[in-house]
Protein backbone atom coordinates (compact mmCIF):
# COMPACT_ATOMS: atom_id res chain seq x y z
CA UNK A 1 0.00 0.00 0.00
CA UNK A 2 1.35 3.38 -0.90
CA UNK A 3 2.01 6.19 1.56
CA UNK A 4 -0.89 8.17 0.14
CA UNK A 5 -3.25 5.24 0.65
CA UNK A 6 -2.16 4.85 4.25
CA UNK A 7 -2.65 8.58 4.80
CA UNK A 8 -6.19 8.55 3.35
CA UNK A 9 -7.19 5.49 5.33
CA UNK A 10 -5.91 7.01 8.53
CA UNK A 11 -7.77 10.21 7.74
CA UNK A 12 -11.01 8.32 7.16
CA UNK A 13 -10.67 6.47 10.45
CA UNK A 14 -9.99 9.75 12.21
CA UNK A 15 -13.15 11.29 10.72
CA UNK A 16 -15.25 8.31 11.73
CA UNK A 17 -13.87 8.45 15.25
CA UNK A 18 -14.58 12.16 15.45
CA UNK A 19 -18.12 11.66 14.15
CA UNK A 20 -18.72 8.87 16.65
CA UNK A 21 -17.39 10.94 19.50
CA UNK A 22 -19.47 13.91 18.44
CA UNK A 23 -22.63 11.84 18.19
CA UNK A 24 -21.99 10.40 21.65
CA UNK A 25 -21.32 13.80 23.22
CA UNK A 26 -24.31 15.50 21.52
CA UNK A 27 -27.61 15.59 23.50
CA UNK A 28 -29.06 12.72 21.47
CA UNK A 29 -32.13 12.26 23.66
CA UNK A 30 -33.12 15.93 23.51
CA UNK A 31 -32.63 16.03 19.74
CA UNK A 32 -34.66 12.85 19.24
CA UNK A 33 -37.51 14.14 21.42
CA UNK A 34 -37.51 17.41 19.54
CA UNK A 35 -37.91 15.59 16.24
CA UNK A 36 -40.42 12.98 17.42
CA UNK A 37 -42.67 15.00 19.71
CA UNK A 38 -42.50 18.57 18.44
CA UNK A 39 -41.41 18.28 14.85
CA UNK A 40 -39.17 20.72 13.08
CA UNK A 41 -42.04 22.96 11.87
CA UNK A 42 -44.40 23.05 14.85
CA UNK A 43 -45.11 26.61 15.95
CA UNK A 44 -45.78 27.83 19.47
CA UNK A 45 -49.19 29.50 19.08
CA UNK A 46 -48.69 31.71 22.11
CA UNK A 47 -45.47 33.09 20.64
CA UNK A 48 -47.32 33.97 17.45
CA UNK A 49 -50.04 35.71 19.48
CA UNK A 50 -47.49 37.59 21.56
CA UNK A 51 -45.65 38.80 18.44
CA UNK A 52 -48.97 39.91 16.92
CA UNK A 53 -49.87 41.90 20.04
CA UNK A 54 -46.49 43.64 20.06
CA UNK A 55 -46.81 44.48 16.37
CA UNK A 56 -50.26 45.97 16.90
CA UNK A 57 -49.10 47.98 19.91
CA UNK A 58 -46.49 49.65 17.71
CA UNK A 59 -49.27 50.86 15.39
CA UNK A 60 -50.72 52.85 18.31
CA UNK A 61 -54.19 53.92 17.13
CA UNK A 62 -56.20 51.88 14.64
CA UNK A 63 -58.69 53.83 12.52
CA UNK A 64 -61.79 51.63 12.24
CA UNK A 65 -64.41 53.96 10.72
CA UNK A 66 -64.88 57.50 9.41
CA UNK A 67 -68.26 59.20 9.49
CA UNK A 68 -68.87 61.96 6.96
CA UNK A 69 -71.82 64.17 7.77
CA UNK A 70 -72.94 67.78 7.94
CA UNK A 71 -74.30 70.13 10.58
CA UNK A 72 -77.11 72.63 9.93
CA UNK A 73 -77.17 75.33 12.61
CA UNK A 74 -78.17 78.94 13.04
CA UNK A 75 -77.70 81.64 15.63
CA UNK A 76 -79.27 85.06 16.28
CA UNK A 77 -77.89 87.98 18.27
CA UNK A 78 -79.48 91.31 19.12
CA UNK A 79 -78.18 94.60 20.49
CA UNK A 80 -80.16 97.50 21.90
CA UNK A 81 -83.37 95.66 21.03
CA UNK A 82 -83.67 97.11 17.53
CA UNK A 83 -80.42 95.74 16.04
CA UNK A 84 -80.29 92.09 15.12
CA UNK A 85 -77.92 89.76 13.33
CA UNK A 86 -78.45 86.16 12.30
CA UNK A 87 -76.43 83.54 10.52
CA UNK A 88 -77.27 80.15 9.06
CA UNK A 89 -74.45 77.66 8.59
CA UNK A 90 -74.25 74.32 6.87
CA UNK A 91 -70.82 72.74 7.20
CA UNK A 92 -69.66 69.22 6.31
CA UNK A 93 -67.37 67.40 8.73
CA UNK A 94 -65.63 64.08 9.35
CA UNK A 95 -65.48 62.17 12.64
CA UNK A 96 -63.06 59.26 13.01
CA UNK A 97 -63.39 56.28 15.34
CA UNK A 98 -60.34 54.53 16.78
CA UNK A 99 -59.20 51.89 19.18
CA UNK A 100 -55.98 52.58 21.08
CA UNK A 101 -53.78 49.56 20.37
CA UNK A 102 -51.17 50.71 22.90
CA UNK A 103 -53.65 49.52 25.55
CA UNK A 104 -53.63 46.00 24.11
CA UNK A 105 -51.56 43.35 25.93
CA UNK A 106 -51.39 39.59 26.31
CA UNK A 107 -53.72 40.03 29.29
CA UNK A 108 -56.39 40.80 26.67
CA UNK A 109 -55.70 37.59 24.75
CA UNK A 110 -56.75 34.07 25.75
CA UNK A 111 -55.98 30.83 23.91
CA UNK A 112 -58.02 27.66 24.40
CA UNK A 113 -55.80 24.98 22.92
CA UNK A 114 -58.44 22.23 23.03
CA UNK A 115 -61.11 24.35 21.38
CA UNK A 116 -58.50 25.95 19.08
CA UNK A 117 -59.99 29.33 19.93
CA UNK A 118 -58.33 32.71 20.50
CA UNK A 119 -60.40 35.43 22.20
CA UNK A 120 -59.29 39.06 22.17
CA UNK A 121 -60.78 41.70 24.47
CA UNK A 122 -60.62 44.99 22.61
CA UNK A 123 -59.78 48.38 24.13
CA UNK A 124 -62.72 50.82 24.28
CA UNK A 125 -63.87 52.54 21.10
CA UNK A 126 -62.73 56.17 20.95
CA UNK A 127 -64.02 59.05 18.89
CA UNK A 128 -61.64 61.59 17.40
CA UNK A 129 -62.18 65.34 17.14
CA UNK A 130 -64.63 66.81 14.65
CA UNK A 131 -62.78 67.77 11.46
CA UNK A 132 -64.77 70.50 9.74
CA UNK A 133 -64.48 71.28 6.03
CA UNK A 134 -65.07 75.06 6.05
CA UNK A 135 -64.08 75.36 2.39
CA UNK A 136 -67.31 73.50 1.55
CA UNK A 137 -69.51 75.36 4.04
CA UNK A 138 -72.54 77.47 3.15
CA UNK A 139 -73.19 80.62 5.20
CA UNK A 140 -76.18 82.97 5.00
CA UNK A 141 -76.04 86.22 6.98
CA UNK A 142 -78.96 88.53 7.70
CA UNK A 143 -79.87 91.54 9.82
CA UNK A 144 -78.30 94.95 10.40
CA UNK A 145 -75.57 93.61 12.69
CA UNK A 146 -74.11 91.53 9.90
CA UNK A 147 -72.91 94.70 8.21
CA UNK A 148 -70.13 94.56 10.81
CA UNK A 149 -67.34 92.08 10.08
CA UNK A 150 -66.71 91.70 13.80
CA UNK A 151 -70.33 90.71 14.38
CA UNK A 152 -70.22 88.23 11.51
CA UNK A 153 -67.10 86.66 13.03
CA UNK A 154 -68.81 86.36 16.42
CA UNK A 155 -71.81 84.70 14.81
CA UNK A 156 -69.47 82.35 12.98
CA UNK A 157 -67.75 81.29 16.22
CA UNK A 158 -71.08 80.62 17.89
CA UNK A 159 -72.30 78.63 14.91
CA UNK A 160 -69.18 76.46 14.76
CA UNK A 161 -69.51 75.70 18.47
CA UNK A 162 -73.10 74.62 17.84
CA UNK A 163 -72.03 72.65 14.76
CA UNK A 164 -69.42 70.77 16.81
CA UNK A 165 -72.04 69.73 19.36
CA UNK A 166 -74.40 68.69 16.56
CA UNK A 167 -71.75 66.53 14.88
CA UNK A 168 -70.76 64.85 18.15
CA UNK A 169 -74.40 64.01 18.79
CA UNK A 170 -74.70 62.52 15.30
CA UNK A 171 -71.49 60.53 15.68
CA UNK A 172 -72.66 59.05 18.99
CA UNK A 173 -75.70 57.51 17.33
CA UNK A 174 -76.11 53.79 17.98
CA UNK A 175 -76.06 52.85 14.30
CA UNK A 176 -72.71 54.53 13.64
CA UNK A 177 -71.13 53.12 16.80
CA UNK A 178 -72.32 49.62 15.87
CA UNK A 179 -70.67 49.96 12.45
CA UNK A 180 -67.42 51.21 14.01
CA UNK A 181 -67.34 48.37 16.54
CA UNK A 182 -68.08 45.75 13.92
CA UNK A 183 -65.22 47.09 11.77
CA UNK A 184 -62.90 47.02 14.79
CA UNK A 185 -63.76 43.41 15.57
CA UNK A 186 -63.30 42.34 11.95
CA UNK A 187 -59.97 44.17 11.59
CA UNK A 188 -58.47 42.76 14.77
CA UNK A 189 -59.64 39.23 13.98
CA UNK A 190 -57.96 39.50 10.57
CA UNK A 191 -54.75 40.87 12.10
CA UNK A 192 -54.54 37.79 14.35
CA UNK A 193 -55.69 35.23 11.76
CA UNK A 194 -53.11 36.10 9.09
CA UNK A 195 -49.96 35.31 11.15
CA UNK A 196 -51.65 32.19 12.53
CA UNK A 197 -52.33 30.96 8.98
CA UNK A 198 -48.77 31.73 7.93
CA UNK A 199 -47.56 29.72 10.94
CA UNK A 200 -49.69 26.75 9.87
CA UNK A 201 -52.41 27.34 12.48
CA UNK A 202 -55.28 27.96 10.05
CA UNK A 203 -57.60 25.79 12.16
CA UNK A 204 -57.43 28.26 15.06
CA UNK A 205 -60.47 30.56 15.22
CA UNK A 206 -60.19 34.15 16.45
CA UNK A 207 -63.02 36.07 18.14
CA UNK A 208 -62.57 39.75 19.07
CA UNK A 209 -65.09 41.47 21.34
CA UNK A 210 -65.51 44.65 23.34
CA UNK A 211 -65.79 44.30 27.09
CA UNK A 212 -68.81 45.90 28.73
CA UNK A 213 -70.53 49.02 27.41
CA UNK A 214 -68.26 51.82 26.28
CA UNK A 215 -69.24 55.45 26.32
CA UNK A 216 -67.42 57.71 23.91
94-117 per-position pLDDT tens digit: 999 999 999 999 999 999 989 999
Highest mean pLDDT among 13-17, 66-70, 212-216: 66-70
**Residue 120: inside a domain:** yes
**β-pair partners for 182:** none
Q: Within 34-135, where are the H helices?
A: 45-58
Domain of residue 69: give its range: 43-210
Number of domains in the chain: 2
Q: Is the pLDDT reported for residue 7 higher than 60?
A: no
Q: For position 43, what pLDDT does the model report?
A: 58
CA distance 13 to 66: 74
> pTM above the 0.85 mark?
no
Show the CA angle centred on residue 13, arms to residues 11 and 15, nearest 5°: 70
- Using CB atoms within 10 Å of the CB of residue 9, give its burial: 0 to 12 exposed, 13 to 18 middle, 19+ buried: exposed
**Residue 216: inside a domain:** no
Amino acid sequence: MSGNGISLTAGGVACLCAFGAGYWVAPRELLDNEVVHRGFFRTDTRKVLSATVESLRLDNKLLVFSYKGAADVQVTRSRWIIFEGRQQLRVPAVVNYYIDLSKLSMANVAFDEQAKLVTVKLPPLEMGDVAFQPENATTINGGLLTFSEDEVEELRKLNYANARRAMIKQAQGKGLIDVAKNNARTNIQTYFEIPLRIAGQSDVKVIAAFEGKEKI
